[in-house]
Amino acid sequence: MFSQEKFGIREAISLITIVIITKIYFTSPALLIKFTGTAAWYVTLISALTAIVGFTFVYLLLRRYPGKNLIEIFEVVWGRSLGSIFSGLLSLWFIAESCIFLREFTEVLRVYELPLSPTSFIILIFVVGIGVLIFLGLEAIVRFSKLAFPIFILGFIVVLVLSSLNFNIHHLYPVFGYGITKSIFHGLIRSSVYGEVIILAVFYHSLQGVKYIGKSCYSAIVLSGILNSVSILAYLMTFPYFTAPRIISLMYEMTKLIDYGRFFQRLDPIFFFIWNVGSFITVATLFYTGISIYCMIFRIQNIKPILVPSLIILYSGAMLPQDATVIITGYVQASREYSWIVYYFLPLITLIVSKFKGNKGEYSKK
Amino acid sequence: MNKWLILTAIILVIVFSVTACYDSREIEELAYVLAIGIDEGVNDRVRLTIQFPTLKTGPAAGGNGENGDNSVGGEQDGYTTITFDAPSIAAGIDIANTFLPRSLNFMHTKYVVISEKLAKKGITELLMSLVRYREIRKTAHVVIVKGSAEDFLKENKPTIGTTLSKTMELLMEGTYNTGYFPNTTLHDFHNSVHSTYEQAIAIKGAVNDFKNIKENGDTDYKGYIKTGGEYTAGEIPRKGGSKVDLFGTAVFKWGKMVGELNGDETRILLIVRNEFNRGIFTIEDPKSHNSAISLNVQQVKPPETTIRFEEGRPIIKLNIMLEGELLAVESMINYNTYQLKPLIERAFEKYVREETYKLFEKCKDLNADVFQFGTVAAKHFMTIQEWEQFKWLDRFQDSEINVNVEFYIRRTGNII
């Protein structure tokens, strides 16, 4: 069995929350505001609710097969070959997500801070860092998340509180944005934003049981839903619906606007710290999950032998997109809108099939 | 052994990566632009004027361009202005980098100064290029100047101390201490120029040539009480000090300047927008004509604005709440009594009410909702489509306003 280190609920919540909410530092909120206007702040709550429903399928599946992770369940329900295809899809998706995220981070970094550094250089440095973290293992990633989480949240809150100077609550009207139908539609399909909770189902053996996974995942979705909603609310109150969609990183621009007189301004470093730490954890987690699933499919006991080739894939994958526009309006958008198929739909049909087949985990049989 | 090799490799990677070799720029390699001026170009599309510190004092200061005070040496040295024509702002930066030994950096730019002539033709595209440029912070102030931006920046120099950046920052404090000009930043301007709720405003600036101050009786002043704010930038009767005036407001409609407000009108505008902090108002003594009463007025509560629609016509109800302190009573009448104090309060309420009506009519004539009433009107619409179909900014001229002012004198200065 692929070796999986142990961690607790707090670590799990920290990890998943960071992975989910790091997206708000990039282009996703601007795109959401573009489609839903002033309603964006509660559309993300609709997404969170949808994600809770979506994850419930995964949770029911895990409860049906106690002691087995999602990859093992795929194999039990679908058989080795078909199960591997399902798991392979999940693995590919996580690797693709990490490549997209890494490239998005690089592009935004180049826009705002490192315009002269070549894309390949930034990606390479990041990949090396991720390589070190992955080499140290899942436990290192999770412990690092737990360590970074309070600073991450504190930095996030500080930026929001200090930005309140520029808030105008009237910018939240008309209250229904581009219409209820559009809001619900985008709320449903963008539930993919919270889809990374499935990571804990992959690392089932690291937690102490299905109840702990449920508790961690539901808590992470609720927490990140609130944080996402609050941050989009802040963005909308600072940048009205007609200017927000034009801005690459709303959080960064909001931080740049903090100005409390001559001695208290230019707080971008706070932003950069939490931004970089969050991105680092997110890409490392997504990529680690992707290659872990690969290891589980092919019964590879240790991730280390395939680490270097995998990192080359991450580097190459991140280098593939031609430009920032392709990344922002193409890949990122597609990832936010279609990930639910992989994250929730695959477990759902697996659950349905397992009900029809009537097979259950060993523990349940007893 | 392996562990040591890995550790060494990691340390080497970290050490080399943190040098930021591609983007590292030492402070002495950069020229920090404090203000950027934009005029209509003669040889090319735009004429750019940039003002930056030369980081040196003494006779050699002034560099390749003109010295700040048009002289060599002196205590106002340490900064310079350079003017050149360019096809665009971005291209202009590159052009300037060819004849300047240091790279221009706009991270500390405090003013974006645009000539009135250019502003009247429309500055939306120009503004977008500024917003898109990553170095320019959106906290930079937008100033529209009478005459040329070039002349304005040549006169932009420290009068107290030697630091121009500090002078520019402290000059902007005037908006909080007087309310005679708005605190418009690039962020505000960018938001409002694309807004469906409001039209944009900017700070009005000008070079005061000191010719408005008359030494003899050849003026239109006939002894009546003046408010002190009936001027716009460049018109204040004064001499001495900096020639730079920031006074009044430039009013925009869809990115084109369509009018201007004087200091008094600007104060009323800021009160309605809830952006007024404090300022000293002078009104006529209600019991003694031709005597002035000075009040230090503060806005402690935001105005209450409600809007209803009668057959599609917006009816605005505005309730302004102010409080103040009695600063001076020329007539020596003792207003510190329950009977007389309300007389000043009612007189000031009347003044603010009438000025608000006048300003409202003026803005209706310009068809520019600079009051941000649209932000309140938007609450009546469920969706953005409905709101945008209503076209608030075009319908503003059909609106009607009812103003109520509440003013209380909380303190009466040192005298009971």
pLDDT tens digits for range A336-347: 888 999 999 999
Q: What is the ipTM of this complex?
A: 0.88
Query: Minimal CA–CA distance to A26: which of A94, A105, A103?
Result: A105
- A263 interface with B at CB cutoff 8 Å: no
Q: What is the pLDDT of residue A365?
A: 45
The answer to whether B22 contacts A117, with C-beta atoms less than 8 Å apart, is: yes
CA–CA dist B298, B279 (Å, integer): 7
The answer to whether A170 contacts B17, with C-beta atoms less than 8 Å apart, is: no
- B3 interface with A at CB cutoff 8 Å: no
CA angle at B209 for the pair B362 and B253, rounded to the nearest 5°: 25
CB B293 within 8 A of CB B329: yes
Q: What is the pLDDT of residue A356?
A: 86
Q: B382: exposed, middle or buried (C-beta count within 10 Å: 0-12, 13-18, 19+)?
A: middle
Q: Which of A37, A114, A170 sits opposite B23 (nearest CB)?
A: A114
The answer to whether A178 contacts B383, with C-beta atoms less than 8 Å apart, is: yes
The answer to whether A170 contacts B378, with C-beta atoms less than 8 Å apart, is: yes
With a cut of 70, list the residues of chain B below it in pLDDT: 1, 16-20, 57-77, 217-223
Q: What is the pLDDT of residue A364?
A: 47
Q: Please report the domains of chain A, with CATH numbers, ordered by start residue.
A: 9-361 (1.20.1740.10)
pLDDT tens per residue, range B176-228: 889 999 999 999 999 999 999 999 999 999 999 888 787 776 666 666 777 77
Q: What is the pLDDT of residue A225?
A: 96
| pLDDT-wise least confident of A135-139, A258-262, A322-326, B76-80 | B76-80
CB A344 within 8 A of CB A54: yes
CA–CA dist B49, B150 (Å, integer): 6
Q: What is the pLDDT of residue B1?
A: 58
Higher pLDDT, A100 or B224: A100
Q: What is the pLDDT of residue B223?
A: 66
Residue ranges of E strands in B330-413: 400-411
Q: What is the pLDDT of residue B72?
A: 37
Give helix A307-319 / helix A119-136 axis angle, nearest 10°.
150
CA–CA dist A314, A316 (Å, integer): 6
Chain A contacts in chain B segment 126-145 (CB below 8 A): 134, 137-139
Query: Minimal CA–CA distance to B145: which of B238, B212, B41, B244?
Result: B244
Q: Please report the domains of chain B, with CATH numbers, ordered by start residue.
A: 28-56+74-215+222-263 (no CATH), 277-415 (3.30.300.210)
Taking CA–CA distances from B373, the nearest residue in chain A reads A170
pLDDT band with cut points at 50, 70 and 90 for residue A3: low
* Residue B355 distance to chain A (closest CA, Å): 25
Q: What is the pLDDT of residue B18?
A: 66
Q: Which of A118, A177, A242 sits opposite B22 (nearest CB)?
A: A118
Helix (H, G, I), strand (E, B) or coil at A241: coil
Q: What is the pLDDT of residue A366?
A: 39
The answer to whether A174 contacts B376, with C-beta atoms less than 8 Å apart, is: no
The answer to whether A173 contacts B196, with C-beta atoms less than 8 Å apart, is: no
The answer to whether B381 contacts A174, with C-beta atoms less than 8 Å apart, is: yes
The answer to whether A173 contacts B10, with C-beta atoms less than 8 Å apart, is: no
CA–CA dist B378, B387 (Å, integer): 6
Mean pLDDT of chain A: 90
Query: Minimal CA–CA distance to B178: which of B242, B111, B243, B266?
Result: B266
Tokens 């005037």, located at residue:
B174
* Residue B284 distance to chain A (closest CA, Å): 36
- Collect all residues of chain A within an 8 Å Cβ-Cβ radius of residue B194: 242-243
pLDDT band with cut points at 50, 70 and 90 for residue A2: low
Higher pLDDT, A125 or B270: B270
pLDDT band with cut points at 50, 70 and 90 for residue A5: confident
Taking CA–CA distances from A243, the nearest residue in chain B reads B191
Q: What is the pLDDT of residue A361?
A: 60
- Collect all residues of chain A within an 8 Å Cβ-Cβ radius of residue B384: 37-38, 174, 177-178, 241
